[in-house]
């Protein structure tokens, strides 16, 4: 009886989440993305090559803080998680192949959104007592919009969502996958997760940065190599896969047997899963972006924009191709669901031996998202209160959520994620529109310096003609930059 009630409530929450996504979040997300793309003159296209070069040179000395590359890998670790595997599978099962097209649209305009929110996070960041930086939507809502109540609301929602909801969801994904692929019980899996996560989380942001610096790039590379092999082995199917994606994106009814579809199903699921995966506009990634030590805010904006491209255009697309190449015999099979579809598709093309490696891959993907979510929680708790006990409380709640997520059934939590992210996204997008002039000004300053022959532009937030006013912190003063 209790389980049936939980399922009914979860279904109700799913209906509400779908309505919010389809009628509010989707249009605001795409609309603001287009607006920011126009105002930045398509920065994601014009400076794409420079983005890649910037990432390549972002591992310089961070002066005791977090390097630009480390901040990038923290957000990449959060982005490249189970959303790239389970989320894409869910989008395909519920929205058909066309959902992938709408994920691409979200990513394309989302790159400019990610650029603006990361740049603002850098502009309005503050220096912590230990030499690291903190910032994000709560900080730019407070310092830029002069709205402490709105900033507090956003910080609290982000804190709860990241410390409990996202952490539990990722832990649950690990437990479900590992339990299906190995003889281990969920309690044993929870113990392993606890042993891995606790030392990293209790070590603080620097500890997370040191782990994600190597974990995020390596895990993404291994996954992409595996997918590349499958695509090479089935090169003749690539054209058919692309055809399915584009036809299904605009078809009023499903066009592929065994998969759902229709235009609205494709749009809603594509936007939902795209947002859950790449986080553009959601307001979580800027918390990591602000921690970077850089000479100019635009540098981190460009790097974070590239993160959206890597996450959705590359990694999510790779997952979609594997599933669609596998064909109806896999996605229409009895017992198929978002948590096992990708693994079944890989096993279908490479063999049953891939079951355990895929489970380990899910473990690494989700684990990296767990420790990245802690960083977001920590930054927002520091905004709400700087009392020492608060930091330890966030760490303890995050670690406890890892265990709870591994052993509990979480249909309510899974569906609540969409509503929580919708609230965060709409609030953050309003702030981006209101404060956009700061990011646009910083971009003009950066490009003017590059045109003048300055290889490494330096940002000064005082008496800067490109800004609407002086930056209200001491981070970007001329004396700090010298």
Flag whether pLDDT at 7 surpasses 70: no
Q: Higher-confidence residue: 176 or 435?
A: 435
Q: At which residue do the structure tokens 């520091």 appear? A: 382
Rounded to the nearest 10 degrees, the angle between the axes of helix 238-249 and helix 98-123 is 80
What distance in Å separates the CA atoms of residue 463 and residue 396, rounded to the nearest whole number?
A: 43
Task: Say how far apart CA 424 and CA 36 lie, in whole Å.
Answer: 18
Residue 353 above 60 pLDDT?
yes
Q: Is the pLDDT of residue 38 over 90?
A: yes
User: Residue 126's beta-bridge partner residues?
Assistant: 134
Per-residue pLDDT at 415: 67
Task: Give the separation between CA 287 and CA 166, rounded to whole angstroms.
Answer: 15
The answer, yes or no, to whether residue 444 has pLDDT greater than 90, is yes
Would you state the pLDDT for residue 140? 94
Q: What is the pLDDT of residue 151?
A: 92
The answer, yes or no, to whether residue 326 has pLDDT greater than 60, is yes
How far is Cα 327 from Cα 235, in angstroms, rounded to an integer? Answer: 14
What count of other Cβ atoms lies within 10 Å of the Cβ of residue 416?
20
Greater model confidence, 412 or 122? 122
Contact call for residues 17 and 418 (beta carbons, < 8 A) = yes
pLDDT score of 294 more than 70: yes
Nearby residues of 439 by Cβ (< 8 Å), 6 or more positions away: 40, 115, 116, 119, 120, 123, 297, 301, 432
Decide: helix, strand or coil at residue 292.
strand
| Contact in structure between 314 and 168 (CB atoms under 8 Å) | no
Tokens of 219: 């895990």
Instruction: Say what the pLDDT of residue 478 is.
Output: 63
Mean confidence (pLDDT) of the chain: 82
Question: Cα(449)–Cα(434) distance, rounded to whole angstroms?
Answer: 26
pLDDT, tens digit, for every residue of 129-169?
777 788 999 999 999 999 989 999 999 888 888 888 888 88
Which residues 6+ apart lie within 8 Å of 314 measured at CB? 224
Are β-strands 133-134 and 126-127 bridged in parallel, bridged antiparallel, or unpaired? Answer: antiparallel
**pLDDT for position 62:** 53
pLDDT for 446 equals: 94
Q: For 386-436, what is each residue's pLDDT tens digit?
A: 787 888 888 898 889 888 888 876 666 666 667 777 888 889 999 999 999
The span from the CA of 54 to the CA of 157, in Å, is: 32
Task: Kindly report which listed range (2-6, 250-254, 451-455) carries the lowest average pLDDT score.
Answer: 2-6
- Report which DSSP code applies to 354: G
pLDDT above 70 covers what percent of the chain? Answer: 86
Chain Cα centroid distance, residue 323 = 22
pLDDT(302) > 90: yes
Task: Give the residue-averaged pLDDT of 214-236.
Answer: 83
**Spatial separation of the C-alpha atoms in residues 182 and 144, rounded to whole Å:** 51
Q: How far is CA 126 from each of CA 123, 142, 155, rounded to the nearest angstrom?
A: 9, 12, 15
pLDDT at residue 477 tops 60: yes
Residue in the structure block whose two tokens are 């989700």: 366
Count of H-run helices and E-run strands, the chain:
23, 2
Alpha-carbon distance of 118 to 296, in angstroms, equals 12
Read off the pLDDT band of 42 (50, 70, 90): very high
pLDDT of residue 255: 45
Q: Which H or E run contains 30?
A: helix 26-39
Separation between Cα atoms, residue 162 and residue 170, nearest integer Å: 11
Confidence tier at 125 by pLDDT (50, 70, 90): very high
Measured distance CA(72)–CA(407) in Å, rounded: 31
Please answer whether residues 117 and 282 qualify as being in contact, where contact means their C-beta atoms are separated by less than 8 angstroms.
no
pTM: 0.85
* Cα gap 365→372, rounded to integer Å: 11
Mean pLDDT confidence for 288-303: 89
Q: Tell me: pLDDT of 53 over 80.
A: yes
Would you state the pLDDT for residue 218? 81
> Which residues make beta-bridge pairs with 127?
133
3.30.160, 2.30.30, 1.20.120, 1.20.1740: CATH of 2-481: 1.20.1740
Buried b (16+ CB within 10 A) or exposed e, 360-387: bbbbbbbbbbbbbbbbbbbbbbbbbeee
Query: In this model, does residue 482 exceed pLDDT 70?
Result: no
Question: Which of 102, 89, 100, 17 lies closest to 258 in space, CA to CA?
Answer: 89
More confident residue, 360 or 413: 360
Average pLDDT over residues 18-29: 76
Contact assessment for residue 249 and residue 98, using Cβ atoms and an 8 Å cutoff? yes
Residue 203 pLDDT: 86
User: How far is Cα 416 from Cα 184, in angstroms, rounded to an integer?
Assistant: 28
The torsion angles phi and psi of 193, rounded to 5 degrees, stand at -60, -45
Grouping H, G, I as helix, E, B as strand and the rest as coil, residue 315 is helix
Confidence of residue 6 (pLDDT cuts 50, 70, 90): low
């Amino acid at each position: 009886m209790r389980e049936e009630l939980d399922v009914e409530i979860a279904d109700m929450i799913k209906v509400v989440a779908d309505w919010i996504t389809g009628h509010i979040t989707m249009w605001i997300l795409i609309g603001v993305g287009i607006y920011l793309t126009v105002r930045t003159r398509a920065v994601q296209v014009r400076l794409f090559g420079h983005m890649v070069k910037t990432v390549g040179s972002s591992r310089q000395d961070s002066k005791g803080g977090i390097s630009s590359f480390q901040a990038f890998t923290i957000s990449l670790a959060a982005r490249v998680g189970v959303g790239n595997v389970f989320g894409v599978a869910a989008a395909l099962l519920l929205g058909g192949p066309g959902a992938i097209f709408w994920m691409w649209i979200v990513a394309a305009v989302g790159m400019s959104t990610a650029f603006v929110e990361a740049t603002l996070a850098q502009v309005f960041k503050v220096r912590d007592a230990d030499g690291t930086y903190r910032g994000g939507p709560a900080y730019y809502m407070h310092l830029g919009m002069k709205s402490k109540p709105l900033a507090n609301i956003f910080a609290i929602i982000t804190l709860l969502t990241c410390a409990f909801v996202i952490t539990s969801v990722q832990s649950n994904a690990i437990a479900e996958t590992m339990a299906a692929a190995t003889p281990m019980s969920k309690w044993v899996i929870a113990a392993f997760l606890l042993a891995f996560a606790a030392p990293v989380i209790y070590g603080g942001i620097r500890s997370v940065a040191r782990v994600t610096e190597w974990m995020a790039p390596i895990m993404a590379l291994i996954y992409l190599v595996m997918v590349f092999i499958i695509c090479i082995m089935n090169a003749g199917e690539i054209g058919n896969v692309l055809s399915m994606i584009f036809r299904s994106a605009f078809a009023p009814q499903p066009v592929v047997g065994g998969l759902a579809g229709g235009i609205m199903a494709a749009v809603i699921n594509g936007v939902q899963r795209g947002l859950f995966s790449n986080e553009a506009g959601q307001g979580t990634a800027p918390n990591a972006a602000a921690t970077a030590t850089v000479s100019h805010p635009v540098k981190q904006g460009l790097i974070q924009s590239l993160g959206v491209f890597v996450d959705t255009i590359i990694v999510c697309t790779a997952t979609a191709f594997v599933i669609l190449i596998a064909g109806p015999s896999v996605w229409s099979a009895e017992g198929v669901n978002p948590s096992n579809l990708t693994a079944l598709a890989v096993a279908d093309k490479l063999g049953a031996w891939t079951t355990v490696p895929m489970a380990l891959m899910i473990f690494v993907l989700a684990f990296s998202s767990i420790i990245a979510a802690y960083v977001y929680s920590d930054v927002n708790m520091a905004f709400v209160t700087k009392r020492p006990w608060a930091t330890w409380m966030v760490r303890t709640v995050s670690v406890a959520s890892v265990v709870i997520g591994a052993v509990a059934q979480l249909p309510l939590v899974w569906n609540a994620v969409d509503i929580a992210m919708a609230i965060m996204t709409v609030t953050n997008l309003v702030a981006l529109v209101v404060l956009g002039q700061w990011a646009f000004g910083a971009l003009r300053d950066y490009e003017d310096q590059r045109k003048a022959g300055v290889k490494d532009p330096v940002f000064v937030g005082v008496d800067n003609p490109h800004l609407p006013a002086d930056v209200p912190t001491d981070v970007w003063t001329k004396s700090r930059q010298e």
